[in-house]
Amino acid sequence: MCCRPRKVAILTFSGAVHVCSDVGFVGLGTMGGRMAERLQQAGHRLVVYNRSVDKSAPFAARGARIAKQPAEVTKNCYVVFSCLLDDAAVKEVYLGANGLLTHATERHVFVEHGTFSPEVRSQIADRAALVGATFLDAPVTGGPEGARAGTLITMVGGVESATDQVRSLMLEYSRDVVHLGDGGAGLRLKLINQFLVTTHVVSAAIGVNLLRSTGLPVEESARVLEGGWAASTMLRRAFDAERKQDNTSCGAPISALISVSGPIASELASAGIDGNFFAAAKEILTQAAEGSDVGVDVSRLSAHLEMAGNQDD
């Protein structure tokens, strides 16, 4: 049950968000599901769509309408958020038969929170523009914990006035919404973010492995490393996992990093930056993913590197 009277939002011709219509959300995975849940908890009435219907059931139980196709969301909502996995999913949901843009009009604002290629963004934005609809690329950072707590940071590319119109909705699951410029700006920063996360994950895992091999005490070493220049979110998570000796996933599999490695490599190449360092990090992640029957969590990479090393002995 919502703790406040239900409220819903609509983007009108005047450019304001008024209380009168449903909000759409497409993609109820690890991130999107938590973001949509926060919208629902805040009192917004949702129309949701997910390719696997079972993830929609909890929202229906709390009063959301379940769409059978993405196009049905667009028919019922002028503001539609989505959080999709990759290029293929984004293209299918937006541009496919019965996709979100099938019934789009000049009143619609679409906000995609996933990480995908700038090329696909251009295809969707161009198609939306043909009917006067607005498309914002708005990736997020903060992980599943941030989505659950409402502390994500959302980076937006696209029309600034449209960003302002839906900002209050994004703040239901974000602690900050930063408009960065024209279409694609949010995605470009997210790819830089994912480059840093990828290399930090691998560096932290190797560092913890090196520490383990020396026999140095974990707690005292962590206190030093996390208190100085070596500190990072990924190092903290690696140490937390080392302390717990727990393979439980926190919802951040390394497969998600691997899935966006192509666009990151393309950005590096376009900028004339040597991508060998990133390629080496990606290869380590790929080998860990291939050697596991289940998704390897980013915080547990060091354990998988240790197992791989033991197998080589």
Could you give the CA distance from residue 225 to residue 188 in angstroms, rounded to a whole number? Answer: 30
The answer for residues whose C-beta is within 8 angstroms of residue 49's C-beta and 6 or more apart is 24, 25, 26, 27, 56, 66, 67, 68, 69, 70, 72, 73
Smallest Cα–Cα separation from 104: which of 71, 137, 126? 71
Please identify which of the residues 55, 68, 75, 190 carries the catalytic annotation. 190
pLDDT tens profile 101-125: 999 999 999 999 999 999 999 999 9
| 275 pLDDT above the threshold of 50 | yes
pLDDT confidence tier of residue 140, bands split at 50, 70 and 90 = very high
> Global pTM?
0.90
Architecture of the domain delimited by 10-182: 3-Layer(aba) Sandwich (3.40)
Q: Are 137 and 121 in contact (CB under 8 A)?
A: yes
| 11 pLDDT above the threshold of 70 | no
Q: How is the chain split into domains, by residue range?
A: 10-182, 189-312
% the chain with pLDDT above 90: 79
Could you give the CA distance from residue 164 to residue 287 in angstroms, rounded to a whole number? Answer: 43
pLDDT confidence tier of residue 60, bands split at 50, 70 and 90 = very high
Could you give the CA distance from residue 239 to residue 243 in angstroms, rounded to a whole number? Answer: 6
Confidence at residue 266, expressed as pLDDT on a 0 to 100 scale: 95
Confidence at residue 291, expressed as pLDDT on a 0 to 100 scale: 67
Smallest Cα–Cα separation from 234: which of 261, 257, 185, 201? 201
190 is known as an active-site residue? yes
Confidence at residue 262, expressed as pLDDT on a 0 to 100 scale: 94
Confidence at residue 244, expressed as pLDDT on a 0 to 100 scale: 81
pLDDT tens profile 63-111: 999 999 999 999 999 999 999 999 999 999 999 999 999 999 999 999 9
The mean pLDDT value for 241-249 works out to: 72
Strand, coil or helix: 10: strand
Beta bridge partners of 7: none
Assign domain 189-312 to a CATH class.
mainly alpha
The mean pLDDT value for 132-148 works out to: 97
Could you give the CA distance from residue 298 to residue 279 in angstroms, rounded to a whole number? Answer: 17
